[in-house]
Amino acid sequence: VQPTASAPPVQVAIDYLPILYSPSINVTAPLVFVGYGISDATHGWDEYAGIDTRNRIVVFLRGKPESYTYPITHADKIDAARQHGAAAFLTFTGPVMSPYEARRGMNHGPLAFYNQMGPGLPLPGAWIHTDLAERLLSSNLSQMGRSLSAVQLHLQTLRSQSFDTDTQVRLKWESAQEIGTLHNVLGLFPGSDPSLSEETVIIGAHRDHFGQQAGLVFPGADDNASGTAVLLEAARVFAEAGLKPKRSLLFVSFSGEEQGLLGSRLYVSGAPRPLSSTVAMINIDHAGVGNGRLTVGVTGLEKSQAANAGKQTGLMDIVDLFGFFPGGDHVPFKEAGVPTITVVSGGAHPHFHQPSDTPDTIDPTIVERAVRYVIALTWQLAN
């Protein structure tokens, strides 16, 4: 990825990362800013209106304005760009963080990310650093007498800020795909009460990450070797301590989470334990770094149930309870009507989806707290 005008060279992983699933590309084209990249004529919000994006590279903010109350996915944005004839896209985190992004401690750099596949062929694209987005748009923003932050804030009023730019960008990379098989690994702990043993509590964590991409290795220690460690340790404790919960426990190591929740969606599509008698699904994801607290997202259950597990383990002072936690293998279960509880470590995850997510960044104390909490929560729900 390079601006064609004389400018400092950009670096992979620091300034940009190709979106995974992006096909090979070698194109030089003008850049067009299309706000959040939303084209929703039904609700009167079309950021492509009056803008020619044919054979151009569109650049748009991630997420959506808080005042836009309708669901929008990355796949929706890619579909809009394709329908409007774009050759490729660049996306970036806005200079003004959303409350969710701030709570997660996200920074403005590019992250590894799979294209959420909509209909049609994938569109080449990259996630770029916010600073690079400002550089690419600076000439036109200066002419407008506005900053990128001001443009983003203005977008919250749902008034289009789309504009052509004087900047040309060259995108060039080679991509290859391989066909493979992903495996979910399941371990059943039968319930001890004949009247309740057909009911199930699922404890899940995904063990896949990005592997080697764009010449870089993504180790995935926090996301999600940490959650996998919690899963395995909880299973070991139940097995070796002779604990006999009334309901059955199903420990599931999912694969394909980073590629669109493939493993959890596969489970839900043909559940080996009926979803109608699944009491809850506990999902553990990136539970190894942060501020020492636990973030717990609850759907379909009273928060008091999640709070009780904190009290039983003496961890209530460090447990922060929320509602739905967006993203993760609990989502297909929630969509299927199964109550879910998501456990992640609180605070910033500075190495999230980056090559720096290595084992030396993991805090064992945080992982231990997550294990204690998950065991207590599982015991409570299973009895």
What b/e sequence results for 183-208 when a residue is b if at least 16 CB atoms lie within 10 Å of its CB, and e otherwise? ebeeeebebeeeebeebbbbbbbbbb
Q: Low-confidence residues of the chain, pLDDT below 70?
A: 1-7, 100, 103-105, 115-120
pLDDT of residue 177: 81
**CA 379 – CA 131 distance, rounded (Å):** 48
pLDDT of residue 32: 97
| pLDDT tens digits, one per residue of 104-128 | 667 788 988 876 655 567 899 999 9
**CA 23 – CA 27 distance, rounded (Å):** 12
Residue with tokens 């989502």, as numbered in its chain: 331
What SS3 class is residue 370? Answer: helix
Q: Kindly report whether the peptide bond that precedes residue 224 is cis, defined as omega within 30 degrees of 0.
A: yes
pLDDT of residue 314: 92
pLDDT of residue 3: 67
- 167 with 136: CB under 8 angstroms? yes
Sequence-separated (6 or more) residues with CB below 8 Å from residue 179: none
Q: What is the pTM of this model?
A: 0.85
**CA 294 – CA 234 distance, rounded (Å):** 16
**CA 353 – CA 111 distance, rounded (Å):** 5
pLDDT of residue 210: 87
